[in-house]
Structure 1
Amino acid sequence: MVPESARPNAFASFAAVIALTLVVTWLNARRGRSASDFYTAGGGISEGKNGLAIAGDYLSAAAFLGVSGLIGLYGFDGILYLVGFFAAFIPVLMLVAEPCRNLGRFTFGDVLAYRHDFRVSKSLAALSSVIVAVSYMVPQIVGGAVLLYALLGVPYEMSVLVVGALMLVYVTFGGMRATTWVQIIKAFLLLSMCGLLAILALAPFGFNVTTLLEAVAHRPGLREWLLTIQSSPVDTKALITQSFFEPGLYLKDPIELLSLGLALVLGTAAMPHIMMRFFSVKNAQTARRSVLWGMLWIGGCHLLIIVIGFAAAYYVGPAKIAAADKGGNLAALLLAQHLGGGSMSVWGNVLVGVVAAIAFATIVAVVAGLTLAAASSLAHDVYVGAIKGGVASDREQVVAAKVASILVAIIATSAALLAKGQNVAHLVGLAFAVAASANLPALLATLYWKRCNTRGVTFGVVGGVVMTILFVLVSPNMQYPLTTRANATKALADANAHLAQLDAAGGSGGIRRDDVSRQRVAALAAQAAAQATLDSVGSRTTSIVGLENPLIPLHNPAIISVPFGFLLLIIGSLSGRGRESDPAWRALVFRRDSGIGVATALDH
C-alpha cells in the first residue's frame, strides 16, 4: 500500500506512537510495587480515566478496521456490528459492574469464590478466562502482524514478535497502571483520528452526512460491485443501489444474526479484561459511572466509524477496497491515503502511516489488557488461590503475576506464529461465545440465584467451554477442503470468463475504458484469491476434525451454546445440596447491594 520510498515516513509515525506508550510505561513502572498496584492500580483510577480506558480496552481493530471495511463493502450490514458492540454494555451497566466491584478484588474468580468452593471456583474461572483471553489475543496479534507487513514490509514472524514483546513490556513492567494509560492514550488517538478522517471526508459535502450518503448511492461502479456480490440480480439500478443501505447484503441469515448478537451482547459482560476494569476504581458507584463514560466514548467512536465506512465506499470504492483486502480491513487506511493526496503524495503516506500506527496501538493496547487478564487468572486464581490456598505474600503475588504474563505472552505469540496464512477470525467469535456460554451463566447465577452452588457452576463453566469449542469445530468456521476447492474452482473459472469478456468488450469499444480497467482490477484480484485458495487446500479432503461438511450451519454457536450453558448450570445446581450455601448467599446479597466491607475485604 505504501510505496517503498515513502515507508520511512510511515515508520516514523509508528515509532512516535509506540515511543509515547513506552515512555508512559516507564513512568508508571516506578509507581507501586504491591499486588494491588499490579492488578488494579491500587483501585485509584478515576471514573473519567477508567471510562476512557474501558473504551480503549474495548475498541479493538475489529471495530476500527474491520467494521469500517464491512460498511465500505456492504453498507448497512456493517452498522449492525456496531449496534451489537454498543448494546453489549447495557447488561454490563445493569447487572455486572456494581456487584462485581462490591464482591471482588482482582478477578472474575474472586466473585465466584465469594460463595462457592474456593479452589474449584478459582480453577474454573482461570480455565474459561485464559481460553477467552488467548482466543481473542491471537487474531489481534495476527492482525497487527499483517498490518506491519502490508504497510512497512516487516516480515510476518518479526511483526508477531514485535507485538508480543510490546504487550509483555506494558504488562510486566507497568501492570494495570501502565496498561490503563496505554489504553487511555490509544482511545484518545483513535477518537482524534476518526474525527479527523470524518471531517476531511465530510468537508466537500458541507459536513452533511445525508449528502455523502446520496453521493455514495450515485457513485460510479457501485452498481457493478453490488451485482457481483448479490445472489439474485436486480434489474433496475435504483433497487440495486438501494440494497446497499438496507440489511441483508452481508448478514443474510436472521438466525446467524441473532446468534452473533447474543454472543456480542452477553459475552461482553463476562469478558475478563473488561471485568478487571471494575476493580481498578474505588467503589461500585464509580464503576457504574465508568461504564457510562465508556459508553459515551465508544458510541461517539462508532458514529465516526460509520461515516468513515461510507466515506471509504465513496472515495475509494468497494471494488478497490476488496482488491486490497478481501475482508475490507484496509478501507480506513485507503481512505486516509486518498484524503491525504493519494498513494504518491507525501501527506497521503504520512496520514496513512499515522492511521496505521494508531490501529497498531489499538491492537497492542487490547492485547495488553487481555494479557493482564489472563496473567491475573493464572497468578491470582491458580497459583495464589488454588495452589497456595489464598495465602501468599505481596512479593510472591507480584512475582507470580509477572511470570504468568511471560507465560501468556509466549503461548499467544507461539499460536500467532503457527497461524500464519490461516483464517483466525473465528477465534474472536469463539472468545465471545465462551464468555457468554460459560462465564456469564456462572456470574449471573452466583450474583442473583440463591440455589446456585459449586456443582452448578462447575457444570455450567466446564460444559459451556467444552460445548462452545465443539460447536465451533463442527461449524462452517473450519475449512472443509472439498467445499473450499469446489468454490475456489468455480470462482477461478468465473474470474477467467469475466476477464475474457472484458478483453472482448474493451476491443469492441462497447464499454468505457475506465470501467474496463476498474472491473479488470477486481477480476484479477478474484483470480489471484481463488488460485491462492486452491494452493492452500492442496490434496486434503476433510477438516481438522475429520469432517467433509459442517454439522451445524451457524458460524457463531451462541444461540445454541448460551442456553446450553445456562441449562447445565441449572441442572447441576438443582442436583446438588441447596442449603449448604445459605449463609454465603446472605453475605453475598448484603455485600452486593450495600458495598459495606469492600475496603477491608481480604482473599478468602
Structure 2
Amino acid sequence: MTSLLNIKRVLALAPAMALLLVSGAACAQSKVLVGEDFQGMTMTIFAIFFGATLFITYLAAKRNRTATDYYTAGGGIGPIRNGLAIAGDYLSAAAFLGVSGLIALYGYDGIAYLIGFFVAFIPVLLLVAEPCRNLGRYTLGDVLAYRNSFRSTKVAAAVSSIIVAVFYMVPQIVGGAVILRALIGIPYEISVLAVGVLMLTYVVFGGMRATTSVQVIKAILLISSCFVLVILSWAPFGFNVSEFFVSLTRNQLLQSYVSETLLKGSQALGMQEAGQRFLESGLYLKNPLEQLSLGLALVLGTAAMPHILMRFFTVPDAKTARSSVLWAMLAIGVCHLLIVFIGFAAAHYIGAKAIVVLDKGGNLAAPMLAQFLGGGADSLAGNFMLAFVAAVAFATIVAVVAGLTLAAASALAHDVYVGAIRNGRATEQEQVRAARVATLMMAVICVVCGILAKGQNVAHLVGLGYAVAASANLPALLMTLYWKRCSTAGVLAGVIGGTALAIVLVLVSPNMTYPLQQKATALATVAALDLRIAEAEASSSGVTAEARDKLRSDRAGAAAQAAAIADDATSLVGLKAPLILLRNPGIISIPVGFLLVFIFSLLITDKRAIARWEELAVRRETGIGVEQAVAH
C-alpha cells in the first residue's frame, strides 16, 4: 500500500512536471501572444487552474472504491450538476476555439456548427436519455448487449465507440497544443505530449467523480468568460447590437478580406456589399448538400456519442436524466449564443488576416480577442485577460478529454476485457485496474494522432466523429430500443458497416491531401506571379525594388513547392483526386447504417432478441429492475 501510495503521489505531480518539461524545451518564436514580461503571470494562472483540478481529483480518488464509483460516480448525481457536467462535456474546444474561429474567418457559415450542436439534444431528450438510464448500464455496448449476442455486440460497439472518441478527442488535444504554443512558444509536438500527460492524470485516478466536478467548474467558467468578452465587445457601441453589426459590415479590412480572399474577386461586389456578404451563407459551406450532410451528422450523432451516453448512467433515475438534458440545453444554448458574438467580434476587432498569421485554422480568435479587449499585447490587463481565457479554454479541453477518455476506456475495459474476454466475470479491483490500463492506451493513441493532425481546424475534425457516431452507433442503438425484430446480425452489420463506410468516405473525400491538386495550385500561383513581375518590371514607377524582390521570392517559393511534388503523387489511399465532393459523409452513411440494421435483421433473425423484447420494452419505459442492472 505504501509503494502504491507513493506511485500515486508521483503521478499526481505529472502535470506540474510536464509543464516544467515543456517550459525548458520551449524554443524562441517570433509569433507568440504572451511576451516574456507576462509569461510568469500566465504560468501562475495556469498553475492555479491545475492545482484546483488536481485537488478535486485527489478528493475523488479517495471515494472511488468500486467499478460503479469509477464509471458512474455511484449513480447519485443531481439534475443541475449533471446538466452542467453534460454541458461541460459537450462544450468542447471545437465550439469555443474552433467555431469562434470559423465565424471570425467565414462569418455566418460558422454558425451552422453551433445550430447542429444545440438542436442535437432534442433527439437525445426524446429518444435516448430516459431509456438508457432505465436500462441501468455503463456503456453503449451494455445497451446493445441487453437483447443481442453478449460478446459480439460488446466488441463491435466498443470498437466503434473508441473510433468516435478518437475522432472527437484528437481535436481537443490539438486545441490544447495550439494554446500552449501560442502563449509561450512551445513547439507543437511537445505541446501535444504535455497535454496528453496532463489529461491522463485526471481520469486515471479521479474517474467519473473528478471528471464531473471538473466539467461543472469548466462550464461555469466558460459561460462566464464568454459573457465578459461579449460585454466588452459591445461596450463601445453602447450595447447596441445592431450598431455593432453595421460597424462590422463597414469595416474596410473585413470588406477587403471577403472580396480578395474569400471570394477571390470572382464576384463583382462593391466594398459595402462584400461586408454584408460576411453575414450571409456560402463563404465556407458553399455546397447546400454539404450543409445538409453536416447538419444530419451533428444532430443525429450526439445521441450516440459515448461520452454523452455515459452521463445518463450517473443519475439516480430517468426523471433526473430528462431534467439533466434540459439543464444542459439551457447552458449550451446560452454559451453558443455568446460564442457567435465572440466570433463576429474577433472578425471586427482583430481581423481574419491577423488571426491566420498565428493559426491558419482560426483557433486563436477568442484568445486574441480577449487580449485586445483587455488593452492589447503590451498591457497587463490585456495579457491577464488572454491568460485567463486561455486557461478556461484549456480547462474546457481537460473536461472534454477526461469525459472522452473515460468513455473510450470504459468501452475498451468494460466491454472488451470484462465483457467479451472475461464474459462478465471480473472482480471490482480487476475492472478498475483494466479501466486505468485502457486509459493509458487511449492517451498514447490520441497523442500520436494529435501530432498527425497538426494545422487542422478542430471544429472540422469533430464533424467526422459525429458522422461515425450517427452512421454506426445511432442506428444500432435506436433499433435495439424501439424495433422488436432487430437482431444481433443487424446490430453488427449496422455498427461495423456504418463505421467502415463513414471512414472510407472520409478517406476518398476532399478532407484528404491530394498532392496533384496542391501542385496545380502552386503552378497557378507561379503563373499569376509571373504576370505581376512582368507588369512590375515594365512599370517605371509605382513599384519599389523591395516589392519586386518580394514577388520574385514568392514566385521562387511557389515554383519550389510545385517542383517538389512528383507528377504521379497520390493521396494517402492512392487517389489523384477525391471520389466524392462531400467533406462530411453523413447524408450517405447515416441512411446506409439504418438500412444495414434493417436488412440484416430481416435476413438473419435472432430468437433471443425477440424473446427479450418485452422485458426490454417494459424496463425501457418504467425502469423496473434497474437496481439489479446497476449491480451488474
TM range (shorter): over 0.9
Residue pair 2:516, 2:567 contacting (<8 A) in 1 also? no
Residue pair 1:147, 1:356 contacting (<8 A) in 2 also? yes
Deviations 1:507-530 (A, max 9, x none): 759xxxxxxx9xx99x99999997
Residue pair 2:502, 2:589 contacting (<8 A) in 1 also? yes
The question of 1:600 aligning with 2:628 is answered yes
Compute the displacement of 1:2 (Å): 2.2
Given candidates 243, 247, 263, the residue that maps to 1:230 is 263
For 1:555, the aligned partner's letter is R
Which residue of 2 is the match for residue 582 of structure 1? 610
- 1:479-558 to structure 2, matched below 5 A, reads 479-491=513-525, 508=542, 541-558=569-586
The question of 1:139 aligning with 2:171 is answered yes
For 1:241, the aligned partner's letter is G
- 1:335-346 to structure 2, matched below 5 A, reads 335-346=369-380
Compute the displacement of 1:538 (Å): 7.3
The question of 1:305 aligning with 2:339 is answered yes
Compute the displacement of 1:69 (Å): 1.5
Deviations 1:287-317 (A, max 9, x none): 1110110110000001111111111121112
Compute the displacement of 1:6 (Å): 2.5
CA distance in 1, matches of 2:555, 2:344: 27
> Structure 1 residues 537-546 or 55-64, which shifts more?
537-546
Deviations 1:314-351 (A, max 9, x none): 11122222333322211111111111111111211121
Which residue of 2 is the match for residue 565 of structure 1? 593
Which residue of 1 is the match for residue 184 of structure 2? 152
Which residue of 1 is the match for residue 144 of structure 2? 112
Residues 537 and 342 (structure 1 numbering): CA distance in 2 closer, same or farther, change over 3 Å? farther
CA distance in 2, matches of 1:42, 1:277: 12
The alignment covers a number of residue pairs equal to 596
Residue pair 1:209, 1:307 contacting (<8 A) in 2 also? no
Please give the TM-score of this superposition, normalised by the length of structure 1. Answer: 0.92
Which residue of 2 is the match for residue 17 of structure 1? 49
Compute the displacement of 1:494 (Å): 5.0
Tell me the SS of whatever aligns to 1:573.
Answer: helix
CA distance in 1, matches of 2:560, 2:310: 42
For 2:587, the aligned partner's letter is I
Compute the displacement of 1:490 (Å): 3.0
Which residue of 1 is the match for residue 492 of structure 2? 458
Given candidates 22, 30, 35, the residue that maps to 2:62 is 30
For 1:318, the aligned partner's letter is A
Given candidates 272, 290, 295, the residue that maps to 1:261 is 295
Residues 527 and 74 (structure 1 numbering): CA distance in 2 closer, same or farther, change over 3 Å? farther
- 1:25-424 to structure 2, matched below 5 A, reads 25-228=57-260, 229-230=262-263, 232-420=266-454
CA distance in 2, matches of 1:496, 1:249: 28
Deviations 1:553-595 (A, max 9, x none): 1111111111111111111100012644232100000000111
Residue pair 1:312, 1:331 contacting (<8 A) in 2 also? yes
Tell me the SS of whatever aligns to 1:581.
Answer: helix
Given candidates 501, 505, 511, the residue that maps to 1:467 is 501
Residue pair 1:66, 1:329 contacting (<8 A) in 2 also? yes
For 1:597, the aligned partner's letter is G
CA distance in 2, matches of 1:67, 1:525: 34
CA distance in 1, matches of 2:170, 2:553: 27
Compute the displacement of 1:222 (Å): 2.0
Residues 276 and 563 (structure 1 numbering): CA distance in 2 closer, same or farther, change over 3 Å? same
Residue pair 2:355, 2:362 contacting (<8 A) in 1 also? yes
For 1:573, the aligned partner's letter is S
Compute the displacement of 1:427 (Å): 4.1
The question of 1:432 aligning with 2:432 is answered no
Deviations 1:416-469 (A, max 9, x none): 234456788764233111100000000000000111010100111111111111
Residues 502 and 38 (structure 1 numbering): CA distance in 2 closer, same or farther, change over 3 Å? farther
Residues 528 and 45 (structure 1 numbering): CA distance in 2 closer, same or farther, change over 3 Å? farther
Compute the displacement of 1:242 (Å): 1.8
CA distance in 2, matches of 1:98, 1:181: 23
Which residue of 2 is the match for residue 512 of structure 1? none
Residues 464 and 340 (structure 1 numbering): CA distance in 2 closer, same or farther, change over 3 Å? same
Unaligned ranges ≥5, structure 2 = 1-32
Deviations 1:537-565 (A, max 9, x none): 67871001111011111111111111111
Residue pair 2:141, 2:157 contacting (<8 A) in 1 also? yes
Please give the TM-score of this superposition, normalised by the length of structure 2. Answer: 0.88
For 2:621, the aligned partner's letter is D
Residue pair 2:232, 2:373 contacting (<8 A) in 1 also? yes
Residue pair 2:361, 2:455 contacting (<8 A) in 1 also? no
CA distance in 2, matches of 1:296, 1:524: 55
Residues 27 and 525 (structure 1 numbering): CA distance in 2 closer, same or farther, change over 3 Å? farther
Residues 501 and 173 (structure 1 numbering): CA distance in 2 closer, same or farther, change over 3 Å? farther
CA distance in 1, matches of 2:553, 2:237: 32
For 2:189, the aligned partner's letter is E
Using the aligned pairs only, state the percent identity: 60
CA distance in 1, matches of 2:563, 2:103: 30
Residues 533 and 48 (structure 1 numbering): CA distance in 2 closer, same or farther, change over 3 Å? farther
Which residue of 1 is the match for residue 29 of structure 2? none
Unaligned ranges ≥5, structure 1 = 510-516
Residue pair 2:218, 2:395 contacting (<8 A) in 1 also? yes
For 1:9, the aligned partner's letter is M
Residues 451 and 367 (structure 1 numbering): CA distance in 2 closer, same or farther, change over 3 Å? same
CA distance in 1, matches of 2:216, 2:147: 34
Report the RMSD for the aligned CA atoms in angstroms.
2.9
> Structure 1 residues 246-255 or 268-277, which shifts more?
246-255
Compute the displacement of 1:488 (Å): 3.5
Residues 303 and 420 (structure 1 numbering): CA distance in 2 closer, same or farther, change over 3 Å? closer
For 1:429, the aligned partner's letter is G
CA distance in 1, matches of 2:482, 2:75: 25
Compute the displacement of 1:536 (Å): 8.7
CA distance in 1, matches of 2:204, 2:624: 33
Residue pair 1:157, 1:417 contacting (<8 A) in 2 also? yes
CA distance in 1, matches of 2:271, 2:619: 62
Residues 473 and 603 (structure 1 numbering): CA distance in 2 closer, same or farther, change over 3 Å? farther
CA distance in 1, matches of 2:351, 2:540: 22
For 1:252, the aligned partner's letter is K
For 1:236, the aligned partner's letter is G
